[in-house]
Amino acid sequence: MRLSQYFLPTLKETPSEAQIASHRLMLRAGMVRQASAGIYSWLPLGLRVMKKIEQIVREEQNATGAQEVLMPTIQSADLWRQSARYDGYGKEMLRITDRHDREMLYGPTNEEQITEIFSGSVRSYKDLPLNLYHIQWKFRDEVRPRFGVMRGREFLMKDAYSFDIDAEQGRKAYNKMFVAYLRTYARLGLKAIPMQADTGPIGGDLSHEFIILADTGESEVFCHQDFLNRDVLAEEFDEESDLQPVVDSWTSIYAATDEQHDPARFESEVPADKRVSARGIEVGHIFFFGDKYSKPLGASVSTPEGGDVAVQMGSYGIGVSRLVGGIIEASHDDKGIIWPDSVAPFKVGLINLRAGDVACEAACEEIYAKLEKAGVETLYDDRDDRAGAKFARMDLIGLPWQLIVGPRGLKNGVVELKSRRTEERDEISIDEALSRLSAGQA
C-alpha cells in the first residue's frame, strides 16, 4: 500500500479525551475515531489489526473442532424472558422497539439465542459434543465507558458455546477451550494468565478469566513467575485426549487478581524470588454452567437409554476489539505502538527519505514491487514529507520493520533495515534486505 493513497489520518497532538496509552495511540495512529461514548468507527489501519486478531482467534477455535456461525445483533425480548434474564440483565441491555412495537434488544451476549438454535435442531446424544461460536458485535450499555476500545459499549467479541451430554464431557469441552485460549493469546504475542473467576450474571460453577499483563492494566495481579516463562505454543497436545493434566498444570500455581488475592497464601505457595505482582487486563472469560440455560430453554437430547436430558453447556468469550487496545497496552513505548508480528497491520514500512530524488524513487519502487510480489505486507511511505516526520509517523504506527532508503546510503549501495522493537539498525544491500524480509524473520 502506498501511503500517499492510504487513509491514515495520524495526529501530532493527543486528543484531550484520551487518558491511557492505547487510547491515545489508537487515535493518534489513525486507527479509530470515536462516534459517541464507547462507540468507535474503525479506520483502515485499526481494522487491519482487528481482522488479524479475529483470524487468529478463528483459527484456534476451528482447531478445537468448534464451528463458526453468525447470529444477529438484534434479538427478541421474548427469548430472554424464557431464561428470566430479560428483567435480570438490567440497564446494561439496550432495549429497543421496532415499528410494530415489538420488544427487541441489541444482544449483550448470545446464550439464549444459541440455545434456541440448538434445541430447534438437535435431538440426540449422537449429535454431541457440539461447539458453536461466532464473532459478532455486542452492545452493553456500560455506565461509564472509558479507555477507548478497552471498555467500549459496542465491542467485537468471539463467543463460543459448548453442548455436551453430561458434566464430564462438558468439562472436557471446557478444557479444550482453556487450552485454545492460552494458545490464542500466545500467538497474539501476549502473556496471558488464567485465573479463577467469579461467574457473575452468567452463572455456573466453573470459570476462569484470562488476564494479560500490562503496566496500565485496570487490576492488580499476583502470580508465580513460572506463568511468564512458559511457552504454550511449544507444547504438544492431543486434542482428543483429556486435557485435564494440562489445565491442572496451569491452574495449580498461584494466580489471583487483587479482589481474590490472599497475601498469606501467596507468600506460602510462591518463593519470594518467584513472586510477580503486576497490572493486568482481562481479555477473555470462560464459563461452564451446566443446565442453567438448557433447562429453561428446553435444550435437551435423548440419551442412549431412551430418556431425555438437558444438555450441559459452557460459554467462552474473547473480546476481540478490546484485544487491539490490550496488545497496545502491553507493547508500546513513548514513540508509539510496537506491534507483534502476528497482528501488525503491515510487516514493513518502506521509507523513501527523499521523495522526488531519482535514485531513491527508483530504488523504492523496485523494492516495493518485489516485496509485494513476495507477499510481504508493505506500507510504502512515498509522501513528500521531511525525514523526521516520516520516522515519527512510522514509529507511531509501529510496524515491526522499517526499511529506510535515503540518498546517503544509496551512494554506498546500502539501505537501512530497522527493527521497531529493538531499534537495531543494519545497513545492508537491497538484495539482502529483500531476502531477510521475505524469509520468515527479518
Q: Which is nearer to RNA, 376 or 396 (CB)?
A: 396
Does residue 308 contact residue 336 with C-beta atoms inside 8 Å?
A: no
DSSP bridge pairs for 350: 380, 403
We find the least distance from the C-beta atom of residue 404 to RNA, in angstroms, to be: 5
For RNA, the closer CB: 290 or 325: 325
Cα distances from 336 to residues 12, 41, 378, in angstroms, run 11, 21, 19
What minimum distance in Å lies between the beta carbon of 197 and RNA? 8
End-to-end, the C-alpha distance of the chain in Å comes to: 20
- Where do runs of H (alpha helix) occur along 281-429? 320-330, 358-373, 387-397, 407-411
Min dist. Cβ of residue 130 to RNA (A): 22
Nearer to RNA, 173 or 318 (CB): 318
Give the separation between CA 99 and CA 103, rounded to whole angstroms.
10
In the complex, least distance from residue 420 CB atom to RNA, rounded to whole angstroms:
9
Choice between 119 and 184, CB closer to RNA: 184
Q: Positive or negative, the Cα torsion across 222, 227, 233, 236?
A: negative
Residue 55 region by backbone torsions, left for phi larger than 0, else alpha for psi between -120 and 50, else beta: alpha
Q: How far apart are CA 57 and CA 72, in angstroms?
A: 20
- Tally helices (H) and strands (E) across the chain: 14, 23
Q: Which is nearer to RNA, 307 or 356 (CB)?
A: 356
The distance of closest approach from Cβ of residue 214 to RNA in the complex, given in angstroms and rounded to an integer, is 14
* Minimum CB distance to RNA smaller for 270 or for 318: 318
φ, ψ for residue 253 (rounded to 5)?
A: -90, 150
Q: Which value, in Å, is the radius of gyration of the alpha carbons in the chain?
A: 24
Residue 283 C-beta: closest distance to RNA, Å: 6
| Residue among 117 and 392 whose Cβ is closer to RNA | 392
Give the binding site for RNA (CB under 7 A): 10-17, 19, 28, 34, 36-38, 91, 140, 142-147, 150-153, 155, 157, 198, 200, 209, 218, 282-285, 317-319, 321-322, 335, 353-354, 356, 385-389, 391-393, 395-396, 404-410, 416, 418
Closest separation in Å from C-beta 269 to RNA:
25
Return the number of other C-beta atoms located less than 10 Å from residue 440's C-beta.
6
Tell me how far, at minimum, the Cβ of 331 lies from RNA, in Å: 17
Show the DSSP H helices in 256-357 as ranges. 263-269, 320-330
Tell me whether residue 209 or residue 382 sits nearer to RNA (CB atom). Answer: 209
Instruction: Output 24 or 300, the one with its CB closest to RNA.
Output: 24
* Ordered DSSP codes for 328-342: HHHSEETTEE---GG
Burial group, residue 115, by CB count within 10 angstroms (0-12, 13-18, 19+): buried
CA separation, residue 261 to residues 24, 221, 382 (Å): 31, 8, 52
The residue type of 421 is R
| Helix or strand holding residue 183 (H, E) | helix 167-187
| Minimum distance, C-beta of residue 427 to RNA, in the bound complex (Å) | 8
Q: Burial of 121 by CB count in 10 Å (0-12 exposed, 13-18 middle, 19+ buried)?
A: exposed
Please state the closest distance from residue 242 (CB atom) to RNA, in A. 26
Q: Which is nearer to RNA, 23 or 128 (CB)?
A: 23
Least spacing, CB of residue 100 vs RNA, in Å? 25
Three-class DSSP category at 276: strand
Cβ proximity to RNA: between 34 and 331 the closer is 34
